[in-house]
Structure 1
Amino acid sequence: MRTVLVTGPGGSGRTTVAAATALAGSRRGARTLLISADAIPGFPSATEPAQVTDTLWSVRTDSAEHFRGELLALQDQLSGVLGLLGGNQLDGEELTELPGSDQLALLQSLRRAARGDWSRDGYDLLVVDLPPLREALAVLALPEQLRRYLRRLLPQERQAARALRPMLAQLAGVPMPAQWLYEAAARRDAELAAVQALIE
């Protein structure tokens, strides 16, 4: 799969260039997916890939929905701990996205496209309408930065001692991280590695 990342100064027509690039690729017979955070006139505004022509699909990232989904999934995983602490469950309808969630939603769309979640036949060309240049550079650097943070927070070497965790918890008098936390970190690292490889 070939990936084309389109960025530039705000107001420079990058969304138009991205749409034109996707159209040109599909006219050459390439199965093409256009990913954009913005609605593009003449293209469907769906948050799942919608067919535009025989060989062209487009999808709009929904950062608010992505943020709610991720936070509610994390809340479900932590429900036991939250219950012990007397914490209240958050309702999805009361959640508003935080700054930076649009970048994470874009990365998730890249990962889903690369993994083939949206098409069993895959895509030949992926065209991504990135934000303005300064923000785009931050988005492109994000997977590597997040992977570095994950490795610092939950080093691989510590996972090797999983059999000793119950004993260490008794000796130290504090609970040790649950296995699901290490498994979740490993899954996230693999997802971020796939996006990083796609970007590189």
Structure 2
Amino acid sequence: MRTLLVTGPGGCGRTTAAAATALTAARAGQRTLLLSADREDTLSPVLGDTGLPGLTTHRVDGAAHFRHELLALQDRAGAALDLFGAQRLEGEELTALPGADELALLKALRDAAGGAHGAYDLLVVDLPPAPQAIDLLALPAQLRRYVRRLLPPERQAARALRPMLAQLAGVPMPAQWLFETAAHWDEHLAAVQAVIEADTTAVRLVAEPGPAGADALRTATTGLALHGLGVELLVANRVLPQDTADPWAAALVAQQQKTLAEWRDDCVPGVHEAAHLGRDPRGADDLAALALPAPAEEARPVAWPVEDRLADDGFLVWHIPLPGADRDRLGLIRRGDELVVTAGPFRRIVALPSVLRRCTVAGAGLTEGELRIRFAPDPELWPRTR
């Protein structure tokens, strides 16, 4: 199954674009699941009485997911809670905390990719606005790193020795339920991460042409590339007709056309112009009028290749594509075998490829939307040649 993640700046028409894309795919004979996490039902007004065979919609209930997960965690930690005299929480008194919707969406994404909602050819996900969506897509890898640092899986091997270690240390050892919970979360997060990073997953960006849309799009493109997510298509939404005699509208048209020309030159995956209908799109006919194409058969994952220039100048160069990145807002720190890369409001901690772990950072530069980091072999670690 292919997965298409749809996002863009707030108010750009992401839900409409996701619905139009799903409708196109379903009409082409693809079994399509359209997934949304909006607290309000925004899909039904957009789709109207479509009732198209092959198109299924599902809205994630973040509050219900939060209650279920918290009560399950409470049950697993029951013995410890009873030991401290804790009073159990009831489902009726639980109110979802900030972040519950995002976690519920990640679980729904994993379940849908795993066939929990049935067999589908295409999964279209209506994500939150771009900054939140990028943070959301980066969350599984980040949480896995935190869990593994705080509760290393290899520590579980010593569970038979815990009573003795507790006596020697004079402090209680972590309970088995804690490690089991960590393993449960690691398995769940790994499954979500696998879906996000799969070659069959791509991102479709939606933006309204104009200065604000261009700035937001530039930031989103940088953040997606930082996390290795390829953009399958840019949807320029609400494009005004060019043949207008109204001076006020003509100024807006000129502004849009200037931005569109820049996007056509800079946007590698291509630009689809969705016309402004003069109203909010509602129903199958309006969605069809936007003429959004079905997603491409193959996604374009962002590769981070290592270039071998040892024979030429003695360096290995790691190429990290960061289109739209601002040189003044780039940060680079090495921590052991990891690299901390900051691009604007986004940050990623990534493990160094094995060949670069035996090198020292010799410099870095941003050239044509690509961060190039030079590594010099460390004589103390590099294999010696005779």
Tell me which residue corresponds to 1:32. Answer: 32
Contact 1:31 1:56 in 2 (8 A): yes
1:70-149 matches, within 5 Å, as 70-119=69-118, 122-149=119-146
* Root mean square deviation, CA, Å: 1.8
Identity of aligned residues (%): 66
- Distance change >3 Å, CA 5–CA 42, structure 1 → 2: same
Q: Counterpart in 1 of 2:44?
A: 41
Count of residues in Structure 1 that have an aligned counterpart in Structure 2? 192
Partners of 1:67 and 1:114 lie apart in 2 by 21
Query: How far is the alpha carbon of 1:25 from its aligned partner?
Result: 1.2
179, 183, 190: which is aligned to 2:180? 183
Identify if the C-alpha distance between structure 1 residues 186 and 171 changes in structure 2 by more than 3 Å, giving closer, same or farther: same
1:164-175 equivalences under 5 Å are 164-175=161-172
Q: Take 1:20 and 1:33, find their aligned partners in 2: how far apart are those partners? A: 12
Please identify which structure carries the higher strand content.
2
Query: What is residue 21 of structure 1 aligned with on the other side?
Result: 21
Does the aligned pair in 2 maintain the 1:43–1:58 contact within 8 Å? no
Instruction: Report the equivalent of 2:319.
Output: none
Higher-RCO chain (CA-CA 8 Å, sequence separation at least 6):
1
| Shift in CA distance, 190/43, structure 1 to aligned 2, threshold 3 Å | farther
Distance 1:53 1:43, change over 3 A: farther
Give the drift of 1:168.
1.2
Shift of 1:123: 1.5
Q: Aligned-pair distance for 1:77?
A: 1.1
Residue-by-residue CA offset, 1:84-137 (whole Å, 9 max, x unaligned): 111111111111111111110110100111121222xx2210100000011101
- Equivalences for 1:53-72 in 2 at 5 Å? 53-72=52-71
Indicate which of 137, 146, 150 corresponds to 2:147: 150
The residue aligned with 1:48 is none
Residues 70 and 43 of structure 1, relative CA distance in 2, 3 Å threshold: farther
Q: Residues of 2 paired with 1:31 and 1:173: CA distance? A: 60
Residues of 1 paired with 2:190 and 2:34: CA distance? 22
Q: Is the 8 A contact 2:16 2:46 kept in 1?
A: no
Stretches (4+) displaced over 3 A: none
- Give the letter for the 1:142 counterpart: L
Select between 85-94 and 124-133 the one with higher mean Cα deviation: 85-94
Per-residue CA deviation, residues 39-80 of structure 1 (Å, 9 max, x unaligned), is: 112589xxxxxxx53311111011111111111111111121
The 3-state SS of whatever aligns with 1:160 is helix
**100-109 vs 21-30, which deviates more?**
21-30
Whole-Å Cα distance in 2 between the matches of residues 108 and 60 of structure 1?
12
| 8 A Cα contact 1:143 1:195, kept in partner | yes
Q: Unmatched 5+ residue regions in structure 2?
A: 198-386
- The one-letter code matched in structure 2 to 1:136 is A
**Which stretch shows the higher mean deviation, 166-175 or 96-105?**
166-175
Tell me by how many angstroms 1:170 deviates: 2.4
Gapped regions of structure 1 (runs ≥ 5): 45-51
1:10 to 2:10 alignment? yes
Give 3-state SS (helix, strand or coil) of 1:53's partner: coil
